[in-house]
C-alpha cells in the first residue's frame, strides 16, 4: 500500500472517530438534560411526600436531629420542613426558630429567615449563634443599622474578660 493511501485512510479514520465522538457527546448531553428534568420532577414528588410524612411527626428531638442531618447534607428544603414542624410543635423552642432561619438563609430566602431569627433572639437574647446569623440576614437585606446592632451584641457576648 502506498504512503498516500495510508495517509488518506488514516485521515478518514480520524475524521470518522471525531464525528462519532461529537455525536456521542450530543447524545450524552441530551440524556443529561432528560435526566435533570426527570430528577426535578421526582424531587418535587419526593418533597411533597416528605412534607406529608413530617406533618405526622410529633417528636421534636427526632425532627431536629433529622433537620441537622438534612441541612448538613445540603437537602435544605427538606430541613426547612423539619424545622418548620418543630416551630409548630414547640413555639418557644429557640433552636427550632434559629435553625429554620439558618436553613432559609442557606436556601437564599433571606426575607423569610429574618422573622425566624428575630424570634430566636427574643426567646434567648444571649445566644451568640443567633447574632451571627442575624448579622448575615440584615446585611443581605441591606439593613446596615440593624446589622451593626447585631454585630455589637455579638461582640459584647463574645468579649473575654
What average pLDDT does the chain have? 82
Q: Are residues 131 and 161 in the same domain?
A: yes
Q: Are residues 50 and 78 in the same domain?
A: no
Q: What is the pLDDT of residue 33?
A: 47
Residue written as cell 441537622? 68
Report the C-alpha gap between 134 and 127 in whole angstroms: 11
Cα–Cα distance list, 56 to 1, 77, 89, 91, 126 (Å): 79, 18, 11, 17, 33
Please give the residue range of the domain that contains residue 25. Answer: 1-56
- pTM value is 0.71
Q: Are residues 79 and 121 in the same domain?
A: yes
Q: Is the pLDDT of residue 36 over 50?
A: no
Q: What is the pLDDT of residue 58?
A: 86
Q: Are residues 44 and 62 in the same domain?
A: no
Q: What is the pLDDT of residue 51?
A: 77
Q: Are residues 66 and 139 in the same domain?
A: yes
Region 112-122: mean pLDDT is: 97
Question: How far apart are the two ends of the chain, measured CA to CA in Å?
Answer: 91
Least confident of 23-27, 42-46, 69-73: 23-27
Q: What is the pLDDT of residue 56?
A: 82
Q: Are residues 88 and 21 in the same domain?
A: no
Q: What is the pLDDT of residue 160?
A: 78
Q: Are residues 137 and 67 in the same domain?
A: yes
Q: What is the pLDDT of residue 159?
A: 86
52 vs 101 pLDDT, higher one? 101
Q: Are residues 94 and 149 in the same domain?
A: yes
Q: Are residues 52 and 65 in the same domain?
A: no
Q: What is the pLDDT of residue 31?
A: 39
Give 30's pLDDT tier (boundaries 50, 70, 90): very low
Q: Are residues 47 and 65 in the same domain?
A: no
**Residue that finishes a domain, picked among 56, 77, 93:** 56
Report the C-alpha gap between 51 and 49 in whole angstroms: 5
Q: What is the pLDDT of residue 52?
A: 79
Looking at residue 87, which CATH number applies to its domain? Answer: 1.25.40.10
Region 12-34: mean pLDDT is: 51
> What's the structural domain count of the chain?
2
Q: Are residues 18 and 74 in the same domain?
A: no
Q: Are residues 99 and 45 in the same domain?
A: no
Amino acid at each position: 500500500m502506498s504512503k498516500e493511501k495510508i495517509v488518506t485512510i488514516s485521515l478518514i479514520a480520524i475524521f470518522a472517530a471525531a464525528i462519532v465522538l461529537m455525536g456521542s457527546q450530543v447524545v450524552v448531553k441530551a440524556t443529561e438534560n432528560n435526566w435533570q428534568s426527570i430528577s426535578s420532577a421526582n424531587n418535587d414528588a419526593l418533597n411533597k411526600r416528605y412534607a406529608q410524612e413530617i406533618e405526622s411527626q410529633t417528636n421534636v428531638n427526632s425532627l431536629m436531629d433529622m433537620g441537622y442531618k438534612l441541612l448538613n447534607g445540603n437537602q435544605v428544603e427538606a430541613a426547612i420542613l423539619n424545622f418548620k414542624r418543630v416551630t409548630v410543635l414547640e413555639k418557644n423552642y429557640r433552636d427550632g426558630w434559629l435553625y429554620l432561619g439558618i436553613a432559609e438563609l442557606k436556601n437564599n430566602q433571606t426575607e423569610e429567615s429574618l422573622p425566624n431569627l428575630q424570634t430566636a433572639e427574643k426567646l434567648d437574647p444571649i445566644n451568640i449563634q443567633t447574632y451571627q446569623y442575624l448579622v448575615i440576614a440584615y446585611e443581605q437585606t441591606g439593613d446596615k443599622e440593624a446589622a451593626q446592632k447585631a454585630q455589637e451584641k455579638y461582640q459584647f457576648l463574645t468579649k473575654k474578660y
